[in-house]
Amino acid sequence: MPLVLMCGLPCSGKTKRAEELKKYIEVNKAKDVHIVSDHSIGVDRNYVYADSRREKDIRGTLKANVERKINKDDVVILDSLNYIKGCRYEFYCVSKSAKTTHCVIHCELAVDTASAWNKEREKTEQYSQEIFDALVMRFEAPDSRNRWDSPLFTILPDSDVPCEAICDAIFDRKAPPPNFSTQSQPLSSTNFLYELDKITQDVITVLLEAQKTSVPGDQISIPDAKDKINLIHNYNVSELRRHRRQFISYTKTHPVNNTRLIANMFVQYLNNSVQ
3-class DSSP assignment, residue 240: helix
Report the pLDDT value the prediction gives residue 185, as an integer from 0 to 100.
44
Report the pLDDT value the prediction gives residue 30, as an integer from 0 to 100.
94
Give percent of the chain above pLDDT 70. Answer: 95
Average per-residue pLDDT for the chain:
89
- φ, ψ dihedrals at 199, nearest 5°: -65, -45
Q: What's the DSSP call for residue 31?
A: -
Report the pLDDT value the prediction gives residue 274, as an integer from 0 to 100.
64
Contact yes or no for 252/193 (Cβ under 8 A)? yes
How many Å apart are CA 96 and CA 100, to the nearest integer? 6
With a cut of 90, say whether residue 215 has pLDDT above it. Answer: no
Rg (CA), the chain: 20
Confidence of residue 181 (pLDDT cuts 50, 70, 90): very low
The structural domains of the chain, with segments of one domain joined by +, span: 3-171, 192-273
How many Å apart are CA 98 and CA 78, to the nearest integer? 15
Report the pLDDT value the prediction gives residue 179, as an integer from 0 to 100.
55
With a cut of 60, say whether residue 180 has pLDDT above it. Answer: no
How many Å apart are CA 135 and CA 156, to the nearest integer? 20
What does the pLDDT average to over 218-237? 89
Query: Strand 219-220 to strand 229-230: parallel, antiparallel, or no bridges (unpaired)?
Result: antiparallel
What does the pLDDT average to over 262-274? 87
How many Å apart are CA 228 and CA 133, to the nearest integer? 34
- φ, ψ dihedrals at 119, nearest 5°: -70, -20
Across the strands, what pairs with 36? 78
CATH number belonging to the domain at 3-171, selected among 3.40.50.1370, 3.40.50.300, 3.40.50.880, 3.20.190.10: 3.40.50.300
What does the pLDDT average to over 212-224? 88
Contact yes or no for 15/98 (Cβ under 8 A)? no
With a cut of 70, say whether residue 192 has pLDDT above it. Answer: yes
Condensed to tens digits (0 to 9), the pLDDT of residues 24-67 reads 999 999 999 999 999 899 899 999 999 988 998 999 899 999 99
What does the pLDDT average to over 226-232? 89
Report the pLDDT value the prediction gives residue 51, as an integer from 0 to 100.
92
Confidence of residue 178 (pLDDT cuts 50, 70, 90): low
Q: What's the DSSP call for residue 141?
A: -
**CA dihedral for 228, 234, 237, 240, sign (positive or negative):** negative
How many Å apart are CA 131 and CA 115, to the nearest integer? 11
Condensed to tens digits (0 to 9), the pLDDT of residues 77-129 reads 999 999 999 899 999 988 988 889 999 999 999 999 999 999 999 998 999 99
With a cut of 90, say whether residue 201 has pLDDT above it. Answer: yes
With a cut of 90, say whether residue 170 has pLDDT above it. Answer: yes
Looking at per-residue confidence, does 6 or 235 come out higher?
6
Give the H or E element holding residue 154: strand 152-155
With a cut of 80, say whether residue 183 has pLDDT above it. Answer: no
What does the pLDDT average to over 216-241? 88
Angle at alpha carbon of residue 248, lines to 192 and 267, rounded to 5°: 100
Report the pLDDT value the prediction gives residue 204, as an integer from 0 to 100.
93
How many Å apart are CA 185 and CA 25, to the nearest integer? 33
Lowest mean pLDDT among 51-60, 69-78, 225-234, 251-260: 251-260
3-class DSSP assignment, residue 63: helix
What does the pLDDT average to over 72-78? 92
Alpha helices (H) in the chain, listed in sequence order:
14-28, 45-48, 52-69, 85-97, 111-120, 129-138, 163-171, 192-210, 237-253, 262-273
Report the pLDDT value the prediction gives residue 186, as an integer from 0 to 100.
44
Tally of residues, the chain:
275
